Amino acid sequence: MKIRNKFPPLSIHPTLWFSIIASILTGTLLEMMLIFSIVLIHELGHYLAAVHYGWKVRRIMLWMFGGVMETDEHVSKPLREECIITLAGPFQHVIIFILLISVQQLGWLNPSLLALGFQYNTTILLFNLLPIWPLDGGKLAFITLSTFLPFRKAHAYTIVASILFISIILIVLLTSFSFILSTVLLFAFILWENRLEWKQRFYVFMRFLLKRFETEQVTKKVFPLVVTSDMRLIDVFSKFHRQYRHDIFIKDDWHVMDEATCLHIYFKLKQHQATIKEVSQGTQK
């Protein structure tokens, strides 16, 4: 098997390219390579965990202080798996700390370079744990919300909270006399990414539904949904949780519909404006 089939494509985000060029011009290339190595090890943790669970990874995008492993599996896999894969990245920093301490004890590296290693490793770890999408902290917040809320609502709340948190950070940075321009630009860029994610939230929701339609729900957990007869299918789907399979009870006559039938009618038969009552009557004929 060719190597390119074993490993996903590796992409460098413009923010990282900018940092690399800036480091060359300012003579800090060694420090930049140290940051790049930490980020790469971080993403390797995500990737190895994803491979362990059999996830399909499309590519890994490396940022200045982190990265994004792009996969469509997260909308159809158990929350437990996604939580472990998300935590696998931050866990790599613990390993890096252990390696740095070992190297420090052996005296193999310059103390100033070791100090930078500790500083960058701590900074990147704390940065990635911020409750900001799509950082690991934001993903953990999404996973936590998905435990209690429907997918659509959990995703929306995550992005709103992320935008608010970034806005607060930017206000604090801009009102500080000692703010660093590169840090402001980084958070401004992430704010822009969250804005795009918010605009695409319906597409994300539809991708979630389509994945459920295409993938058989093998979970034994059943969460009954009680809906009114005049509710449209898309509004019924808005109540879907990730970790459950749903039986849909129509409140007026208490007829039961299963989610697979409703998804089939919506995606296969393209009855996008149908109400749950119309679907129920159609299946009873």
User: Would you mind telling me the total number of residues written for the chain in this entry?
Assistant: 285
What are the two backbone dihedrals, phi and then psi, of residue 61, each rounded to the nearest 5 degrees? Answer: -105, 120
Beta bridge partners of 10: 60
Quick one: DSSP state of residue 149?
S
Phi, psi of 238 (to 5 degrees): -65, -15
CB within 8 Å of 271: residues ≥ 6 apart = 233, 265, 278, 279
Residue 170 identity (one-letter amino acid):
L
Q: Give the integer Cα–Cα distance in Å for 136 and 229.
A: 40
**All residues at 6 or more sequence positions from 20 whose CB lies less than 8 Å from its CB, including other chains:** 12, 29, 32, 36
Task: Tell me the two tokens of residue 127.
Answer: 């940065």
170, with CB counted inside 10 A (0-12, 13-18, 19+), is middle
Q: Which residues contact 109 (CB under 8 A, 6 or more apart)?
A: 103, 117
* Distance (Å) of CA 43 to CA 48, 70, 79: 9, 11, 19
- CA dist., res. 58 & res. 8, Å (int): 6
Taking residue 211's Cβ as centre, other Cβ atoms within 10 Å add up to 15
Known catalytic residues are 43
